[in-house]
Structure 1
């Protein structure tokens, strides 16, 4: 049975939500709460314990098992994006709470950031910019042209496929691996699908990471794999910082084995002021904003709002957008008492 007019309490784990999503919640008559300080580890639990929250739209704040247990009314958690490493999915599953994502909403934004980091790293643009601002006419003339160099993509979902299309247009051969992929899309037939990460690592002049953070990908690019990368190659990470062994990466950059790296995400965020990454001029850094253009933020907010409203009003959840679909068999009855 549908309950389209039921007022719901929605908690956004950030100080704000893009208007595209906030307006949908307002139009549905929801009481929308916001987390004033996502860096306060106890703030989320306090709100969940005090308010009858029906759904959480998750940004970057960590959602623990204790947070979930504090709110008996909670029915669904939807990630504003696709990475759920900040959510205790196992605890949610034990409580029968679906954890959903908004796939594809920020794919174009992340793909473009990937190329921004790659161009900047390959041509040493940030270093030259800093030199000019220091009144030094330092002309880096050792930049790498990308045409003809092989791009390796670890992960070939929405983002990886968009990155591949640009690479092919630039004249770069592309190889990829993805455990969930049996064949590449027809329009990307020039992309070679390889069976293992190691084969992609060894084949690539530029290696770009597009995987979620989970038990299989944590530390994926460890010292052994980084040592397998071609001399003078480039590593780009717009996935999750914990996928890369940062100390091994720094060693490879300092030794000259790697030409450069571009990182939109780090193992510890915000990046500590004493991070050794800051002392390596061949690393291009950005503060985890690959999916944070206004267009992407609007699409993620809209998608998250639509997901929680469909779930709460009608008990409808797309299994393809749920990271713990085993809870869905009992969700409808529980969501619509």
Structure 2
């Protein structure tokens, strides 16, 4: 009898085409769910016969209560090598191995720049006017050349964002709690004297930090108030790094000029959420990692993780 495996949240219906599943087809029966199941009751009923579950990033959290309702579950595979929505302690207590995967491509870097360019040139507004017969040339764009780009975080993605900013002729600075002058210099970036100095001096502030105890709520009302009223905030990292209520108030009051957002505290974003309708927000539905290269890497890794587990030697185990 084959082992049952559920692949959750395959919104684009590409899970079975992104890699070769044939290497485990004789041992695993895969069922794919293309829509998000919000209710824990419905989800546990749908997958309670599965020994293996695959999740895409943080679309479906796995908390202790869910592990308790899935006694057959033996392997949970998550895309990426960290997932804040999985209770690893609960998984271990219930005898569930949690394996991660490595993606590929530079999707988040590229989307960061799509948001910056979309905001600076008012692309959505101008495109809508063109499509509907509205005003011709109704806005004046913001130049990037000569402007200041401030990066909160200078890891892999932050460094690549910096490189592209430099190509646009921007002055790039960065800050994080552990960033050194040597690391900044190696990327050709100025190390900001402090977080406050970075916020006060930047025309665009882009967040590229890992969510943790030190970064949760890093930007609140005080920090957003330090930004220029002509400045834009970009977040393709994790939503809780910015205080949600403070951000909405800053956008409504004109404390900042606008925001480009790809991440939200509740996903999918509720239909009545103000971030869907504020005119100075350019938002995308957490698609930074949703590219062919990333998906091919993720799903290839998923199959490799499952095969290794079936062979008795789990790999990429998270703890």
Change (3 A) 1:214 1:11: farther
Deviates more, 1:231-240 or 1:76-85: 76-85
1:150 to 145, 148, 151: 148
2:54 to 57, 60, 68: 57
Equivalent residue number for residue 159 of structure 2: 161
Partner SS, residue 19 of structure 1: coil
Equivalent residue number for residue 6 of structure 2: 11
Deviations 1:69-104 (A, max 9, x none): 33445344232245623322342244454544334x
Q: Does the CA contact (< 8 Å) of 2:154 and 2:184 recur in 1?
A: no
Correspondences of 1:51-200 after superposition (within 5 Å): 51=50, 53=51, 55-59=52-56, 60-81=59-80, 84-95=83-94, 97-103=96-102, 105-106=103-104, 108-179=106-177, 188-194=186-192, 197-200=195-198
TM-score, with length taken from structure 1 = 0.79
Equivalent residue number for residue 42 of structure 2: 43
Q: Does the CA contact (< 8 Å) of 2:221 and 2:246 recur in 1?
A: yes
Q: Aligned-pair distance for 1:263?
A: 1.0
Q: Structure 1: how far apart are the matches of 2:238 and 2:187?
A: 28
Change (3 A) 1:79 1:206: same
Q: Aligned-pair distance for 1:11?
A: 2.6
Change (3 A) 1:278 1:58: closer
Q: Structure 2: how far apart are the matches of 1:287 and 1:116?
A: 13
Q: Structure 1: how far apart are the matches of 2:162 and 2:79?
A: 25
Q: Structure 1: how far apart are the matches of 2:22 and 2:191?
A: 41
Equivalent residue number for residue 209 of structure 1: 207
- Structure 2 gaps of 5+ residues are none
Q: Does the CA contact (< 8 Å) of 1:124 and 1:282 recur in 2?
A: no
Q: Does the CA contact (< 8 Å) of 1:107 and 1:159 recur in 2?
A: no
Which of the pair is proportionally richer in helix? 1
Deviations 1:119-149 (A, max 9, x none): 0001111111122223122424432111222
Change (3 A) 1:314 1:87: same
Deviations 1:221-259 (A, max 9, x none): 211211122331111111223332333223323333322
Q: Structure 1: how far apart are the matches of 2:204 and 2:155?
A: 18
Partner SS, residue 232 of structure 1: coil
- Structure 1 gaps of 5+ residues are 1-5, 325-337
Deviates more, 1:87-96 or 1:183-192: 183-192
Q: Structure 2: how far apart are the matches of 1:293 and 1:64?
A: 27
Q: Does the CA contact (< 8 Å) of 2:7 and 2:31 recur in 1?
A: yes
Greater relative contact order, per chain length (Cα 8 Å cut-off, separation 6+): 1
The alignment of Structure 1 onto Structure 2 pairs a total of residues equal to: 313
Partner SS, residue 156 of structure 1: coil
Q: Aligned-pair distance for 1:174?
A: 2.2
Q: Does the CA contact (< 8 Å) of 1:18 and 1:297 recur in 2?
A: no
Q: Structure 1: how far apart are the matches of 2:18 and 2:131?
A: 39
Deviates more, 1:226-235 or 1:137-146: 137-146
Change (3 A) 1:148 1:36: closer
